[in-house]
A = this chain, B = another copy of it.
Amino acid sequence: MTSGTAASAVREPAPAEGLRARRRRQTRAELHAATVRLAREHGLEHVTVEMISKEAGVSPRTFFNYFRTKETALFAWPGGLTEAEAEQFVSAPGRGPDAVLRDLGDVFATHVDEMAPGAGAFEDVLALVEKVPSALGAFLAECDALERDLAGAIARRTGDAPDGQTVALLAGIAMTAVRNGLMRWARDKQHPDGPAASVRDSFTALRGLLAPAYTPPATTEREA
C-alpha cells in the first residue's frame, strides 16, 4: 500500500515537502501502526520496542528517534487541529462561551471522524487507555498538549490574551467534553454512529449543563 509507482509529476510538484520529510512521516506512521497492532494482539505490557521496530522494518534505536516512549507511539493524532479546522473555527461568528463551545463540538466531531477511518484501531487504543496506567498518562499528556493548542485558537477567536484564565478554562472544558465523549464511546459503545457522534453528544450535554437559563435552541441551527 502506498508503495512503488513513483508518480511522475502530474499534479504534485512536491512544493515544500521533500522526499526526506515524506519518508520521515511514513516511518513514523508505520511505527505507530505497528505499536497499535501489536498492543491489540498481545497487550501493551508484553510488547517491546524491539518487536515494534522489527514489525516496522527499522532498528530499535530508530524507534527512539521518533517517539520518546512506547506509550506515546500509541497516539498518532497530530499535535493539534488542521490549519483549515483552526481557521474556520477562529473566523466563525460569536465570541461568547456558548457559541465557542458549540463550534468546538463541530470541530472535534469532524476531527475525530477524520482521525478514525477504520475506527478499529482507535477503539482498541481507547480501551487500552482505560486499562494500562502508563497509557493513561501518555493519553492525558497528549490531551493536554491539544488543550494548549486549543487555547491559542480560542484566544485568536475571542481576542483575549492567549494565556488568560477564561481562555484556559474554556479549552479545559472543551477537552473534558472530548475525553468524555471518546471514553464513553469506547466503554459502552452506546453510539453505533461512532465516536464523533458520542463527542458531539457530550458537547450538547455540556452546553445544556452550563447555562440552564439558556437552554440553547435545539443545536443544529447556525446563528448568523
Contact = CB atoms under 8 A, between A and B. Distances in A.
Given A133-B68, A141-B133, A97 B213 contact: no
Interface string A137-154: 110110110000000000
A205 B144 contact: no
B205 A184 contact: no
A166 B209 contact: yes
Contacts of A169: 176-177, 180, 202, 205-206, 209
Contacts of A212: 96-97, 211
Contacts of A210: 97, 210-211
The main secondary structure of chain A at its interface with chain B is helix
A136 interface: yes
Nearest to A140: B140
A172 B165 contact: no
**Which of A161, A201, A210, A211: most chain B Cβ within 10 A?**
A210
B180 A172 contact: yes
Give the number of times this chain occurs in the complex, counting copies: 2
B209 A180 contact: no
Nearest to A142: B137
A179 interface: yes
A160 interface: yes
A134 B202 CA distance: 29
Contacts of A133: 68, 141
A168 interface: yes
A107 interface: no
